[in-house]
Structure 1
Amino acid sequence: MASTAERKEYPISMRLPESDVAMIDRAATLRGRSRTDFVRDAAVRAAEEVVMEQSFIRMSPEGFAGFMEVLAAPAMPVPAMVKLAKRPAPWEPGYEPKR
């Protein structure tokens, strides 16, 4: 008796203008990926983003109160960020590249 394997991949077909395909191919090449891999990855990331935008975060009243307390607290300076913000930018006088 022959058994049929469950299908695990499904084809998706679409028509695109030549300019879109050229852009996709260029980007895929820059990433070192095939067109199919590149498009699949981009589509899945976009889909995940949409789904996450629609997801609710549930927490207890106590957890929410703690969350709001942290948000309402004054910001604490991060020494490394303060030092970085005070460094001159590469286009400003006084800039010295790290060696």
Structure 2
Amino acid sequence: MSTVTRRKEHPLSMRLPDADIAVIDRAASLRGRSRTDFVREAAVRAAEDVLMDHRIVRMSAKGFAHFLAELDAPAAPVPAMVEVAQRPAPWERKPARKPGR
């Protein structure tokens, strides 16, 4: 008795200009991926982003009141972030002096 395995893949065909293919191929090459893998991953990521943007978040009235209270509360500084923000940018720092100069 043989079993029939259904294919779980669905073909997707697109017509793209040469310039688009060149960009995709270059990016895929930089990632070490095939064109198909690169395009599939990018398309799925973009689709997930759209779905997340349209997701409805449900919460209780009490939970929503707490959420609004947190948004309305004054911001508290995070010491580590303050320290990072106060550091000079790398291009603003003076180069370290080398010994003997």
- TM score, norm. by length of structure 2: 0.87
Question: What is aligned with 1:91?
Answer: 91
**CA apart distance, 1:86:** 1.1
SS of 1:91 mapped into structure 2: helix
How many Å separate the matches in 2 of 1:89 and 1:14?
45
Q: Which amino acid is 2:16 matched to?
A: L
C-alpha distance in 2 between matches for 1:91 and 1:3: 66
Deviation digits for residues 24-70 of structure 1, max 9, x if unmatched?
00000111111000000000011111111111000000000011111
Partner residue in 1 for 2:19 = 19
1:2-34: CA deviations, max 9, x gaps?
Answer: 432122111101111111001000000111111
Question: Runs ≥4 in structure 1, deviation > 6 angstroms?
Answer: none
Q: Please, which runs of 5 or more residues in structure 1 have no aligned partner?
A: none
Q: Which amino acid aligns with 2:78?
A: V
Aligned-pair identity in percent equals 65
Structure 1 counterpart of 2:53, one-letter code: E
Question: What is the distance in 2 between the residues matched to 1:47 and 1:70?
Answer: 31
Rg comparison, structure with higher value: 2
Gaps of 5+ in 2: 96-101
Aligned to 1:78: 78
TM-score when scaled to structure 1?
A: 0.88
Using CA pairs under 8 Å that are at least 6 residues apart, name the structure with larger relative contact order, 1 or 2: 2
- 1:15 & 1:33 partners in 2: Cα distance? 20
Q: RMSD of the alignment, in Å?
A: 1.6
Letter of the 2:76 counterpart: M
**Deviation of residue 96 (structure 1)?**
5.3
- Name the count of aligned residue pairs: 96
